[in-house]
Structure 1
């Protein structure tokens, strides 16, 4: 009785080691041969303004905007670009909500001022 490897053809029936390997991204692993020229835009300003228009979407976009720089620093260029594209989408949506809210309040205040001015008494005590 032998406890060594089986005799005959070696076919373990498994998948084998993964191709490409796992681990942190290497600078040469980015499609195109190296790191991109510059860090993508993080749309931080749009997400900060968007917090005042639609708080939930603005905060989600803010989280993605803050991830862009840290992912870029550690070398996750694809992750940084993905976070930047999500931050852009959430930033634009929340910025539109902010602009609509500002327009609504301006119209509302003008309407209240006009209504208040027209409802005042126009009589004189003389």
Structure 2
């Protein structure tokens, strides 16, 4: 059941990215260019549109008391941001700002092909492998 819900959620997310044209890195970069004169607020509306259903889901899940698909809710983090979180968020933001892709839209854009998205996906997978190797080398998981 969890796999089916995950698949449907991923497909719905990807469809939303395609319909809102968020798989176009030029649109994302135009949103991030607030001083260049060509600012595009579309991404703000997409993010705002995602907040309402997510807020409803959070309220419902707290009242429900247990996950719809079984199992248990994950525990809340015990500590605030650490170096690994801040470094990862910084790398994510820098990559997003430089090329206009983040993992979800890049995977959706991969269905259209094109060299830039394939280069991004190769770099993303390389970064994931490097992270895994570093975690294995330091025995931290």
When normalised by structure 1's length, the TM-score is 0.29
When normalised by structure 2's length, the TM-score is 0.26
